[in-house]
Structure 1
Amino acid sequence: MAKKVKVSDLADKFHMEVLTGEAGLSRPITVADLYRPGLEMAGYFNYHPRERVQMLGKTEITFLEMLTSGVRRNRAEQLCAPEETPCIVVTRGLEVPTELIDEATKRDLPILRSQVSTTIFASRLTGFLENRLAPSTTIHGVLVDVYGIGMLITGSSGIGKSETALELVKRGHRLIADDAVEIRQTADHVLSGNAPELIRHLLEIRGVGIINVMTLFGAGAIRNVKKISVVVKLENWQQDKQYDRLGLDEEMTRIIDTDIPLVTIPVRPGRNLAVIVEVAAMNYRLKGMGYNAALQFTNKLTEQLSEDYEDSD
């Protein structure tokens, strides 16, 4: 579920001045897109996206000031009328026309003013809203940064996820989250994970207890947020199960609405899981660079068999 964002969150986050509509600061913001009502200032409201945060910069305010008072009041009335409009943001510290202040006050519509330039503020606000409104979920697992690759380690309770993460940290890699991983999906279907505030930097090791990774191993052993590239599933070794030995069959798993590569690692005594996770990360990087060891081996084997067949003829 995405977190709810209110107009008051914007005012607090970006230290904006509240000019009108303090009673409307609890209005919800449901979309991350912003809108600069240019055509609307000229009177064309047919396709006005009312549910977006309305942003007025130097262009819009200057155009409004060119209109007569009556026309300006008409435009302000139409801009402020929709109940689903969360707020109006004025940038560059510009003076807001009296007619717009009056109409917004009648409807408890918040008008917020920022001193930042329009382009820069729009970029910051869009990034903030995309992050807060992104679809999210929480998964039981461990997220580690291995050679720059975000590896989400999952599996049943007690199978060794945290112990594997501890060994990876000792080998120079970084911990993002243990036990619970909060995952957000951005608009371009990228998954990023982080730890809940309560358990950030903490790792639970059965028999030892809870340890603080940053305190024990230093600031270089932790990271707050990381893009998730691969899911590593640890499962108990099943004697009768056929495991992929070549790596040609690429499994995928879905988190929220995004498909992501899945590596299943059978767990049995004597297997060094940390090293296997490292190799999985490096192999993923190589595939991204265009090198697939399993595919090359298969191609060479096919060529060899063809040559042997031709020689036998």
Structure 2
Amino acid sequence: MTFAQSGGLERHISLCQFCADLHSELHWQCLHQPEEGSLSGDPWAEDDVGGAALVGFLNFIRPHMVQIAGACELAYLEAHPESTAQFLPAKLRLLIVCEGQSLADRLYADLKSRHIAVMATSMGAKMVLAQVQHYLHHALAPRQQIHGVLVDVLGVGLLLQGEAGIGKSELALELVSRGHRLVADDSVLCIREAPNVLTGHCPAPLRNFLEVRGLGIINIREFFGAAAIVRSKRIRLVVEIKDMRDMEMADIDRLQGKVDHMDILGTQLTRLRLPVSAARNLAVLVEAAARSQYVKESGGDMLADFEAQVRRSAGEA
């Protein structure tokens, strides 16, 4: 699939690829396909739910880029021919004719003259709407590739970051050997699936593989089986590994660690900075970080529990 991206959030998909990708689900036929054409726009403008906002039924207030026409819409046009101009707004790129309906010759000629693609299917209009919205929701979601290693630890997606050579891949290998799962090594494709929901994916060329200094390339699927690999995972916590000598240890809060936030595609993620040294077992620390994140998301507050226990003990004394 060929995409272009500009300005960080705006994405494009060709109409030709769009129609081909949905052919097996919608069983449609092409009535007219312009030589060039694409669907684009900032799908997150005005809190819209991704590219799904680009498709809908006849709407005179906010016309869609992809318009679905079933029996009701075409019957309305036949009864109100003066509304044809509103039915074909300037931003329209694709008309999907559903429920086995046929277009009037005049309307079809108008669509061709405006270089608007036309697809036809016998499926119900609501089913077509759901399928197209689902496809565009993912295809036009903002995405960004970042450096790091993504692992699934106890069901929590952890993005491991740090300088080259700090030991991210070795840590990921140890975590996998302890029963956790690898998503991506070195490069993580981040996709904003919904507001405040960021998922990490492995680029296709890197899938199943992990690079470990001194050992080279390891096929995790061959070493540990298919259960050691997961195709994608929601990113819930960033763990940045830092050399202990480079960190100001005096600045680290001993009660809750060194915690701040990292912004990826407008999504704020909690970032925990872990100092590394020869004496520290990072795999155990990362597992504890995953459990801690799960407890926090479940409404728990371990620091508050600790402080309450200290106050109770002081009162008993």
Q: Same fold (TM over 0.5)?
A: yes
Q: Which residue of 1 aligns with 2:48?
A: none
Aligned equivalent of 1:311: none
Question: Aligned partners of 1:143, 1:10: CA distance in 2, in Å?
Answer: 30
**Structure of larger gyration radius:** 1
In structure 2, the partner of 1:13 is 21
Structure 2 unaligned regions, length at least 5: 1-7, 44-50
Q: In structure 2, what is the Cα distance between the partners aligned to 1:57 and 1:183?
A: 37
Question: Is 2:126 the counterpart of 1:101?
Answer: no
Deviation sequence 1:55-113 (CA, Å, 0-9, x none):
11232123334x2xxx53x433443351x322111223322232321110112211112
Q: Does 1:35 align with 2:35?
A: no
| Aligned residue in 1 for 2:201 | 194
Provide the C-alpha distance between the structure 2 equivalents of 1:193 and 1:131, rounded to a whole number of angstroms: 13
Task: Report the AA paired with residue 18 of structure 1.
Answer: C
- Structure 1 match to 2:130: 123
Indicate how the Cα distance of structure 1 residues 63 and 78 shifts in structure 2: closer, same or farther if over 3 A, else same. Answer: closer
In structure 2, the residue matched to 1:54 is 67
- TM-score where L is the length of structure 2: 0.85
Kindly indicate whether the alpha-carbon contact (under 8 Å) linking 1:174 and 1:220 is maintained by their aligned counterparts in 2.
yes
Letter in 1 for 2:20: D
Distance, in Å, in 1 between the alignment partners of 2:275 and 2:16 is: 49
Alpha-carbon distance, 1:285 to partner: 1.1
Is there any run of 5+ residues in structure 1 with no aligned partner, and where?
39-44, 309-313
Partner of 1:278: 287
Deviation at 1:307, TM superposition (A): 4.9
Pick aligned residue for 2:98 from 87, 91, 102 = 91
- Does the CA-based 8 Å contact 1:230-1:261 persist in structure 2? yes
Distance 1:156 1:76, change over 3 A: same
Question: Counterpart of 1:42?
Answer: none
Is the 8 Å Cα contact of residues 172 and 221 (structure 1) preserved in structure 2? yes
- How far residue 219 of structure 1 moved from its aligned partner, in angstroms, is 0.9
Q: CA deviation at 1:216?
A: 1.6
Question: Which residue in 1 is equivalent to 2:313?
Answer: 304
Q: Deviations over 1:226-264 (max 9, x none)?
A: 111111110000364232321177522211201111111
Q: Is the 8 A contact 1:36 1:56 kept in 2?
A: yes
Aligned residues: 293
Q: Is the 8 A contact 1:250 1:262 kept in 2?
A: yes
Structure 1 residues 275, 120: closer, same or farther in 2, change over 3 A?
Answer: farther
Q: Say if 1:97 and 1:48 are closer, same or farther in 2 by CA, change over 3 A.
A: farther
The structure carrying a bigger strand percent of its residues is 2
Residue 277 of structure 1 aligns to a residue whose secondary structure is helix
Is 1:181 matched up with 2:188? Answer: yes
- Cα pair distance change 1:223/1:12, threshold 3 Å: same
Task: Give the letter aligned to residue 80 of structure 1.
Answer: L
Q: Does 1:4 align with 2:12?
A: yes
Q: Deviations over 1:142-164 (max 9, x none)?
A: 00111111111111111111111
Structure 1 residue runs of 4 or more that deviate by more than 6 Å after TM superposition: none
Q: Could you tell me how far apart the structure 1 residues matched to 2:248 and 2:87 are?
A: 67
Q: 1:277 to 1:230 in 2, by over 3 A?
A: same
Which residue of structure 2 lines up, in the alignment, with residue 63 of structure 1?
Answer: 76
Q: Measure how far apart 1:129 and its partner are.
A: 1.2
- 8 Å CA contact 1:6–1:28 kept in 2: the answer is yes
- Tell me if the contact between 1:76 and 1:103 (Cα under 8 Å) persists in the aligned partners: no
Q: Is the 8 A contact 1:183 1:192 kept in 2?
A: yes
How far apart, in 2, do the equivalents of 1:292 and 1:191 lie? 24
Match for residue 244 of structure 1 among 250, 253, 259: 253
- CA–CA distance in structure 1, aligned partners of residues 291 and 71 of structure 2: 50
Could you tell me the TM-score, scaled by structure 1's length? 0.86
Contact 1:29–1:86 (8 Å) recurs in 2: no
1:217 and 2:224 matched: yes
SS of equivalent to 1:49:
coil
**Aligned CA-pair RMSD:** 2.1
Secondary structure of 1:23's partner? coil
Instruction: Output the CA distance in 2 between the equivalents of 1:14 and 1:303.
Output: 62
Q: Is the 8 A contact 1:77 1:100 kept in 2?
A: no
Q: Distance in 2 between matches of 1:116 and 1:214?
A: 40
